[in-house]
Amino acid sequence: MTSVNGLFLFLVIPAAVVVSVLSSTRADANCRRHLEAWAAREGYVLERVVRQWMSLAFLFRGKTQRVYSVRAVGPDGLRRTGVARVGGYFTGSWSDEVAVRWDQ
């Protein structure tokens, strides 16, 4: 029984950590790709994209949605800053939904 516990601690727990990190990395890459696609569709050029763990602009967001602080140059040439929520409420990074709230 002791060798089974040792095997569990030695193999399963590190494997779970690796899977968790890879999953989070994949989700972040998907969200950034969706944000870049949104910016291209809307005529913006993103200058800065920083993930935020908490935002009052999108306080009631889904657990799987990601929020980013963004700075972009718009089609009119003006630089804008704001907060972007990426992903669907239930589908997270699998959805290409992007909602941006620009600072005044």
Band the pLDDT of 94: cuts 50, 70, 90.
confident
Q: Which two tokens stand for residue 40?
A: 């291209």
Where do the domains of the chain lie? 2-102
* Integer angstrom CA distances of residue 33 from 21, 86, 88: 18, 10, 14
Query: What 3-state class would DSSP assign to 77?
Result: coil
Is residue 88 within 8 A of residue 97, CB to CB? The reply is yes
> pLDDT above 90 covers what percent of the chain?
33
Work out the average pLDDT over 14-34: 84
Give the model's pLDDT for residue 5: 72
Residue 28 has pLDDT above 90, yes or no: no
Model confidence, pTM: 0.74
pLDDT in tens, 43-92: 999 999 988 876 666 666 666 788 899 999 999 999 999 999 888 777 76
